[in-house]
Amino acid sequence: MTGLFRHRAMCRLLPAIAIGCMLALPARSATGAATAEFKLGTAAVKITPPQGTPMAGYYHLRESTGVLDDLYAKAAVMDDGRTRTVMVVCDLIGLPRGVVVEARRLIAEKTGIPADNVMISATHTHTAPVIVGESSRDEAATGGSPLSKDYAAQLPKWIAQAVEEAHGRTTPAHAAYAREIEAKLSFVRRFWMKDGTVGWNPGIGKPNTLRPIGNIDPQVSVVYFETPDKRPLLTYVNFALHLDTTGGTLISADYPATLARLLADYKGPGMLTIFANGACGNVNHINVNWAAKQSGPAAAKRIGTILAADVLQAYMDLQSVEEPTLRARREVVELQPAPFSDEEQRRAEEIAALRDPKTPFLDRVKAYRVLDCAARQGKPFDVDVQVFTLGRDIAWVALPGELFAELGTSIKTASPFPHTIVVELANGRSHYIPHRSAFSEGQYEVVSSRYAEGAGESLVAVSIRLLEILHKEALRKP
């Protein structure tokens, strides 16, 4: 059984699959032997905002009316006896650079772990609060609400608290990894239309839609950690798919909430699931050829359930990390702001001041981009390219913004590490990063990007260089 039929069966039979996986796992540890020095600690701190907090993801005020499921800052601290690294993922749409800088400062103060070794990213859920501090769009999205400002001020403390708790819980651990292919959940959202234009989210069943532009990344990456006596500690999952499924005005972590709940049902409540988003700037969950309701809480549960089934399969395919030595590198890269003219700036100021809902959507998008770039006064954006590696097998590449999927897959293809994970929306700067060819095509992601053409390729080049450096180090005898 293959394709959609396999996934439907998995959704219907998930409890049976879980039982089958329990029986199928070998009697010995699925993750094999590991050195005693390697340790892992995890923690989750609730970051659900109060009711009435403005919600992120759109260009207008949308206040929360309740909670569908809670939001968390989830932390994992790895320690090989010489190097300690931190990975934090927040159930948020993105993180301003200032929040990351302050969180790293607090983490270093509480644990002694330096900024180079702290990776902080967001899942990109659109049913979470606006995090003010990075865009001229903040005022339109929050209405100046003090709840938004208070939330952003508290966020670094919550992130640091999660890391401090995880750091205090480190315990000897084994690590293993696997990957599965999931090609039925994510879809390119940019299309060539029959009139020769480029469409963005053209809608379901539209007759003028010709073909998608680009490719998805179907890889489901799993890294699993357990104690030497096989007690589950952490399942880390990475998949490239926009989190804009749930919709509405209830706070929600979107489909990763279902993923985490189902894996906890299987492995036990003591195991933490961390979901980190892959490069999905041009990808979402809408299948334009499927005439069915594809948004709302039920749609999010469907996606989370199918991903959980993929992870259950991954548990049976795990490969042990035999020498779990940690390495970390971070390089600050300067990205030039997108260019604009004096007339474009004048028009942007006019649009922002009027806040007329009748202004065409892309005109509003462009206005906020121009204002943000003008505020730089010619200064480049400082962004992080960060790489963690575990042994000779696993690499995490953390990059800013919403990367097009092809940028992520090009890093994976060139990486010398067999299991390379690309994490987007990491370490601040939450704007689109298209690949070079998209700039001539235009549309929403290009119009909204704060970065000049070629930024994505620059990040890819630095990522590959750092991967090669760390791989050479991993091959050396200790």
Q: Are residues 345 and 205 in the same domain?
A: no
The first and second tokens of residue 468, run together, are 């090669």
Give the strand pairing for 326-335 and 190-193. unpaired
For residue 366, give its domain range: 337-374
**Per-residue pLDDT tens over the stretch 293-349:** 999 999 999 999 999 999 999 999 999 999 999 999 999 999 999 999 999 999 999
The pLDDT of residue 2 = 41
- Report which of residues 433 and 133 the model is more confident about: 433
Residue 258 burial (CB count, 10 A): 21
Q: Is residue 50 part of a domain?
A: yes
Instruction: Tell me, yes or no, whether 63 and 140 share the same domain.
Output: yes
* Domain membership flag for residue 440: no
Q: For residue 228, is it within any domain?
A: yes
84-90 vs 118-122, strand pairing mode:
parallel
pLDDT computed for residue 139 by the predictor: 81
Residues 240 and 369 in one domain: no
Q: Considering its fold, how many domains does the chain have in total? A: 2
The residues with which 180 forms a beta bridge, in sequence order, are: 220
What is the rounded CA–CA span in Å between residue 168 and residue 461?
37
Average pLDDT, the chain: 93
Identity at 21, one-letter amino acid code: C
Q: Residue 182: what pLDDT?
A: 99
Dump pLDDT digits (tens) for 276-306. Answer: 999 999 999 999 999 999 999 999 999 999 9
Residue 337 CB contacts under 8 Å (≥ 6 apart), including other chains: 372, 373, 376, 378, 379, 380, 381, 450, 451, 452
| End-to-end CA, the chain | 47
**Half-sphere exposure of 189 toward its Cβ, with a 13 Å CA cutoff?**
21
Say what percent of the chain tops pLDDT 90: 87
Domain identity same for 97 and 122: yes
- What is the C-alpha separation between 240 and 403, in angstroms, rounded? 10
Same domain (yes/no): 263, 357: no
Residue 328 lies in a domain: no
Q: What is the pLDDT of residues 75-106, one digit of tens each?
A: 999 999 999 999 999 999 999 999 999 999 99
- CA 399, 402, 404, 406 dihedral sign is positive
Are 49 and 166 within one domain? yes
How would you label 431-450 residue by residue, b for 16+ Cβ within 10 Å and e otherwise?
Answer: bbbbbeebbebebbbbbbbb
Q: Is the model's pLDDT at 224 over the cut of 70? A: yes
Q: Do residue 197 and residue 293 come from a single domain?
A: yes
Q: Would you say residue 142 lies in a domain?
A: yes
Mean pLDDT of 9-19: 40
Residue 379 falls inside a structural domain: no
Residue 33 has pLDDT above 80, yes or no: no
In a domain, 258, yes or no: yes
Same domain? For 126 and 56 the reply is yes
DSSP conformational letter for 117 = G
Q: pLDDT band for 133, please (50, 70, 90 cuts).
A: confident
Does the residue 456 lie in any domain? no
In a shared domain, residues 261 and 357: no
Q: How confident is the model at residue 478 (pLDDT cuts 50, 70, 90)?
A: low
- What does the alpha-carbon distance between residue 20 and residue 9 come to, in Å, rounded to a whole number? 14
Q: Among 34, 19, 31, which residue's Cα sits nearest to residue 317?
A: 31
| pLDDT on residue 477 | 58
Which of 94, 305, 301 has the alpha carbon at shortest distance from 182? 305
Same domain as 343, residue 318: no
CA–CA gap between residue 11 and residue 8 (Å, rounded): 5
Same domain, 355 and 274: no
Distances from the Cα of 278 to the Cα of 71, 86, 218, 402, angstroms? 19, 18, 10, 9
Residues 211, 245 within the same domain: yes
